[in-house]
Copies of this chain bind each other. A is one copy, B any other.
Amino acid sequence: MEATLTDARERTASRVDYQTDPSRYQHWQLKFAGPLATLFMDTKEEGGLRPGYKLKLNSYDLGVDIELHDALQRIRFEHPEVRAVILTSAKSRVFCSGANIYMLGTSSHAWKVNFCKFTNETRNGMEDASQHSGVKFLAACNGTTAGGGYELALACDEIYLIDDRSSAVSLPELPLLGVLPGTGGLTRVTDKRKVRRDLADMFCTVSEGVQGERAKQWRLVDEIVKPAQWNEAVQKRAQEMAAKSDRPAGQKGVSLAPLQRTIDDVGYHYEFVDVAFDRAARTATFTVKAPEAAAARTLDQILAAGANWWPLQMARELDDAILSARTNELELGLWIMKTSGSADAVLEMDKQLIAHKDNWFVREVANMIRRMLCRLDVSARSIYAVIEEGSCFAGTLFELALAADRAYMLNLADNPEATFVALSEMNFGPLFMSNGLPRIAARFYEEAAEMERARALLGKRIPGEQALETGLVTAAPDELDWADELRLAIEARSALSPDALTGLEANLRFGLPETMHTRIFARLSAWQNWIFNRPNAVGATGALKVYGSGTKAKFNWERV
């Protein structure tokens, strides 16, 4: 008992919290001027999330990225007038020197992987904001732009580099640390910026990087600007980019009020989301609650509801729960998804999401739900959906079943209508995966017959047997088998190798087509995670371990 209490206290003390707000930022300044926002990176050396390293030279750790992520959310929701964001540094002579190396060198494999995953999501989110929300990003690299710093710039639509004879862009991870530029760097240099492969090879294998005219010739940056013209050129270009945005004029932002939640040792408790841990079974049960009715009936009412509009509040709560559980509860390997509440209310709100999709706020909410689901897809946890009496797997909430590795649905022989699922237009387009496919299309490999069979059921209550026949659920046991089958499925899953499951799910969940974002998580992250396990990086004489110690790395020279 004592041990358990101590464990619980330690968990509380070390828990990472993804919630913040601008009044608490330590590392960023966010300034607004009409259609432009400027994000100044200014990391506080002593402000590391964990002890043991200093955030010198605008290097970052997870805490810095949590603030960046929050700032981007605020720009999306609270500042609809912002059409372009200038990402720059408040420090002189350095834009950003990337992920803090001492943090990487001293952190566990799990920490490194989770850190990279979140930073990847945040950078993908910037591209998502550009493509789907009309927020354009200009990286104004006013000094050294190294490693993760350049990767951050790569996530922007355009990159300006100061031409001061010393500031270079570089990806020195390989020569200096024996690891990859793993936060999308390699993938964006090729897929996005289309740097010729041999030049990319040169660029990624020299630690000093490339500056000036050559950086532009190689397509590593879009423009180089002398210091005297810098501010003017950056402002001018940002204004031009803003002019291409489709964000609205004269709209009031929606304030992202702090999430109301309690966290204790047995779970997370929000208004619409509850997460219950079972540490012995190594499961976390997520229950998402729908309201009994759609409170807002008109667009004005939706805008008035703002952050309390259920689709947004639910998505924010679930997003926070996903982030918290995947960072803080590493041993809870199986996430069980449940729902409750009124399916009619969810389907009604899905209709509103579709009907008002051209409204900036409603579009932003749909984007938020979509991005939250994409986060779920890459959370490295097994997912079962459990569909019972009182469940509400309808439309948007049915995505949780589609995202699951398996969906178990109770089939009550004498009351088949008591348990049902339902589809809405939200399942057939707006909530697409990072490969661009709606989950139902990925499930059915876009095969016409299967897709039509599913579409024909739009809006209907689909009982267990029909859901099984239509291929919408994995199994539909009757009440005699239900408890046992579910229990056995959970126990069997929880007994399997966690690493092998992560690999299995990363393969089965994502099929063709691959996109830049799926390639970042698969090709790039998978190789990086392999390298993060190799003695040449993390062994006693590995490059990441000895960096800064004055000792030279010693490699095993075998090529594998």
**Contacting residue for A530 out of B178, B186, B189, B530, CB 8 A:** B530
Cβ–Cβ contact B514 & A560, under 8 A: no
Q: Which residues of B contact A197 (CB under 8 A)?
A: 405, 442-443, 508-509, 511
A529 located at the interface, meaning its Cβ lies under 8 Å from any Cβ of chain B in the complex: yes
Q: A228 within 8 Å of B by Cβ?
A: no
Cα distance A223–B380 when bound, in Å? Answer: 35
- Check B406–A501 contact: CB distance below 8 A: no
Chain B residue with Cβ nearest A543: B497
- Bound CA span A500–B555, Å: 11
Q: Is A503 an interface residue (CB 8 A)?
A: yes
CA distance A502 to B555 in the complex (A): 14
Central interface residue in A189, A500, A510, by most chain B CB within 10 Å: A500
The answer to whether A178 touches B499 (Cβ under 8 A) is yes
**B559 in contact with A196 (CB, 8 Å):** no
B residues near A333, Cβ cutoff 8 Å:
557, 559
Contact of A534 among B380, B406, B443, B499 (CB under 8 A): B499
Tell me the complex Cα distance, A199–B474, Å: 7
Stretch of A57-65, A159-167, A517-525 that contacts chain B: A517-525
Query: Whole-angstrom distance from the CB of A522 to the nearest CB of chain B?
Result: 4
Q: How large is the interface on A (under 10, 10 to 19, 20 to 34, 35 or more residues)?
A: 35 or more
Chain B nearest CB from A118 CB (Å) reads: 14
A397 interfacial contact with B, CB 8 Å? no
Contact present for A471 and B523 (CB under 8 Å): no
What chain B residues lie within 8 Å of A198 (beta carbons)? 404-407, 443, 474
Segment touching B, from A23-31, A36-44, A201-209: A201-209
B506 touches A527 (CB 8 A): yes
A99 to chain B minimum Cβ distance, whole angstroms, is: 15
Determine whether A106 belongs to the interface, using a CB cutoff of 8 Å to chain B.
Answer: no
Chain B residues with Cβ below 8 Å from A509 are 197
Instruction: Determine the residue in chain B with the shortest Cβ distance to A530.
Output: B530
Chain B's closest residue to A516 (CB) is: B512
B205 near A498 with CB under 8 A, answer: no
Scan A214-240; emit 1 where CB is below 8 A from any B CB, else 0: 000000000000000000000000000
In the complex, chain B residues whose CB is within 8 Å of the CB of A381: 559
A110 contacts the other chain (CB 8 A): yes
With contact pairs A447-B194, A492-B205, A496-B175 given, residues A331 and B530 touching in the complex (Cβ less than 8 Å): no
Asked if residues B498 and A558 are in contact (CB atoms below 8 Å), the reply is yes
A500 CB to closest chain B CB (Å) equals 5
Q: How far is the CB of A540 from chain B (nearest CB, A)?
A: 15
A504, B536: Cβ atoms under 8 Å?
no
| Residues on B with beta carbons closer than 8 Å to the beta carbon of A522 | 519, 522-523, 526-527
Chain B CB within 8 A of A12 CB? no
Which residues of chain A from 324 to 367 have any CB-CB distance to chain B below 8 Å in the complex? 326, 330-333
A543 CB to nearest B CB, Å: 6
- Closest chain-B Cβ to A221's Cβ sits at a distance in Å of 18
A528 within 8 A of B: yes
| Interchain CA distance A406-B197 in the complex, whole Å | 8
B504 touches A560 (CB 8 A): no
Contacting pair B201 A110 (CB below 8 A): no
Task: Decide if A190 is an interface residue (CB 8 Å cutoff).
Answer: yes
Which B residues lie within 8 Å of A204 (CB)?
504, 508
Question: Looking across the interface, which residue of chain B has its beta carbon closest to that of A113?
Answer: B560
Known: A282-B557, A497-B543. 13 other contacts (CB 8 A): A174-B497, A180-B504, A201-B405, A205-B492, A330-B558, A497-B537, A498-B536, A498-B560, A499-B530, A499-B534, A502-B559, A503-B527, A522-B527
Give residues in A with beta carbon < 8 Å to B. Answer: 109-110, 113-114, 173-175, 178-180, 186-187, 189-191, 194, 196-202, 204-206, 282, 326, 330-333, 380-381, 404-407, 442-445, 447, 471, 474, 492-493, 496-516, 519, 522-524, 526-531, 533-534, 536-537, 543, 553, 555-560
